[in-house]
Amino acid sequence: MFICDCHCDTLTELYKKNADLYGNEQHFDIKRQIALGGGLQFCAIFVPTPEFRYYGGLRYTLQLLDKYLQECKKLRAAGVDVLQVRTKADAADVLNHRAATLLAIEEGGAIDGSLEALRCLYELGVRAMTLTWSNRNDIADGVNEASSGGGLTVFGRKVVAEMNKLGMLVDVSHIAPAGFWDVIEASSKPIIATHSNAKGLCPHPRNLDDKQILAINANDGLIGVTFAGQFLEEDYHNACIESVYRHIDYMLNLMGNDDHVGFGSDFDGISHPPYNINGVQDYKPLVDFLSAKYSDATIAKITHQNVLNLLQKVL
Ligand SMILES: [Zn+2]
């Protein structure tokens, strides 16, 4: 089993608790990822708004980025085989390593309104950015602002163009619908919704409606099905492995193929995980459950191949 997972908030917890990426008490660590069979984990620097809504987002981003780089250094020093994915060649090489990470940002306020900062963060290894969290920033409106109807700002369009040029994944999870459709039109490369589910099954504002799911399919992009209980079931107490399966199956049926769905657990960022998923180790029962429903070829695509294919198209 090799799991590509497009979103977790583990870095925030490690930074706050001065804990290690290799082994910790959080939902995700490298030790359990390797024990599972290996994987590629997107590690997001989550910039909390409103705390850093108007000022300080870049400084906070660098603090978490430093934590990530220090942890990577410690893993190398300890001889743990963890690849940091930055290039197409890295993406092609992922399966030859025990584990891998990809550095991401969740909330475009991280760049403090500066394309220069965006380019510097790229140089430091950032390869994906969620344009907004659920609030408004100077790139676009998040889902909490959906009623105001705002899409991409003029600056937001420049950010998408620059990310396309650099080779960064443009992430539309959290963005309000108007902004979603602006990104579909503006992006010259396939996009990603790193952690979102199907609104047709669970009508949460953070989930994607059928038209959005079909647009990501047509765009050759990818949706990371997320384990947040509130996005899986209307009553999050009912969220379980089978709910994750139902969202995957809904998307596969709607799209009519199995090329554009993966995982985006949101480990260490979810207040209500499914009652039978408590961390990265529980990919085992989840994949066992899915293996009873799908062919080996489909399982390989959902667990890792679709994400690796997307990286080949975008990085
Ligand atoms: Zn999120």
pLDDT digits (tens, 9 = 90+) for 159-188: 999 999 999 999 999 999 999 999 999 999
Give the type of residue at 98. Answer: R
pLDDT in tens, 124-133: 999 999 999 9
Residue 100 in 3-state DSSP? strand
Quote the ligand 1 centre to 77 CA distance (angstroms): 31
- What is the distance between the alpha carbons of residues 195 and 218, in angstroms, rounded to a whole number? 19
User: How many angstroms is it from 255 CA to the middle of ligand 1?
Assistant: 24
Longest dimension (CA), the chain: 51
Give the domain 3-314 fold.
TIM Barrel (3.20.20)
Q: 309 alpha carbon to ligand 1 midpoint, in Å?
A: 23
Going from the Cα of 228 to the center of ligand 1, the distance in angstroms, rounded, reads 9
- Whole-number Å distance, alpha carbon 295 to ligand 1 midpoint, is 30
Each residue's pLDDT expressed in tens, for the chain with a length of 315 residues: 999 999 999 999 999 999 999 999 999 999 999 999 999 999 999 999 878 877 889 999 999 999 999 999 999 999 999 999 999 999 999 999 999 999 999 999 999 999 999 999 999 999 999 999 999 999 999 999 999 999 999 999 999 999 999 999 999 999 999 999 999 999 999 999 999 999 999 999 999 999 999 999 999 999 999 999 999 999 999 999 999 999 999 999 999 999 999 999 999 999 999 999 999 999 999 999 999 999 999 999 999 999 999 999 999
Per-domain residue ranges for the chain? 3-314
The rounded Å distance from CA 247 to ligand 1 centre is: 17
Q: How far apart are CA 226 and CA 88, in angstroms?
A: 25
Distance CA 70, CA 59 (A): 17
Q: Are 85 and 108 in contact (CB under 8 A)?
A: no
Q: Which residues of 185-203 are buried (b: 16+ CB within 10 A; e: fewer)?
A: ebbebbbbbbbbbbbebbe
Cα 78 to middle of ligand 1, angstroms: 31
